[in-house]
Amino acid sequence: MYAFYALENAVIAAADSFAIPWEKTHPSKVEVATELHASKGLPDVSSLLEELNALRKSEAYGETPPAHGWGAEDLVIAVEEYVQAVARLLGED
């Protein structure tokens, strides 16, 4: 869950820095991640956001876990790389 929140907040931090509007909904944040990829060259984490949200809901609500191909270490690496990419883009690394 914490990886999901870290990734989502990195997307929002970048969006806010570039005045890209977003709403407090998961689909809006996925769209913003796609836009940041296209317009700013950030890694495309839209599918990762979707998968992490599905895992979060699975844990929180006891839903059937989604099928996924990510290991825990791979998830953490992908999130860390995105957070670092945002930091570099914003000149904060």
Helix 26-40 / helix 46-61 crossing angle, nearest 10 deg: 160
pLDDT tens, 19-49?
A: 999 999 999 999 999 999 999 999 999 999 9
Q: What is the average per-residue pLDDT within 52-78? A: 82
CB half-sphere exposure, 72, CA atoms < 13 A = 2
Task: Quote the percentage of the chain above a pLDDT of 70.
Answer: 95
Instruction: Please determine, for residue 56, whether its predicted confidence score (pLDDT) is greater than 70.
Output: yes
State residue 93's pLDDT score.
62
**Number of domains observed in the structure of the chain:** 1
- Domain span at residue 7 reads 2-89
* pTM for this model (two decimals): 0.89
